[in-house]
Amino acid sequence: MRITICSLALALAVPGPAWAQDAAQTNFPALKDYPAAACSKPAALPKKPITTSNVEIERYNQLIANYNTLGKAYVVCVNAYVSNANKDMDVIRQKSRAATDEANRP
């Protein structure tokens, strides 16, 4: 009886294929190197001029227009990145579902 309990304890202590995956591990090691978004966030919003000079106001308006253009491009870039990442996750989901289906077949 003692040998059986020790054998059972040893079998449970030694990870087998079913227990090999730790929560911190991955099936795809390259995932830790998944590319970050290569989008350039615009610099800080320009400060309003303290003068009422038309030249300064026009310069400020141009800076704001440029900031808005860069901001829109940034949003488009981030949305494309997220869309592509979602497609990557869809592939992973499809493969994991296929593995689950295969494992559940008699």
Span 46-104, pLDDT tens digits = 998 888 899 999 999 999 999 999 999 999 999 999 999 999 999 999 999 999 999 99
Whole-model pTM over 0.85: no
- Count of structural domains within the chain: 1
Q: Is 12 left (phi over 0), alpha (psi -120 to 50) or beta?
A: alpha
* 47 belongs to a structural domain: yes
Domain that holds residue 35: 27-104
* 7 belongs to a structural domain: no
101 token code pair = 């289906």
Query: Residues, the chain, total?
Result: 106
* 17 belongs to a structural domain: no
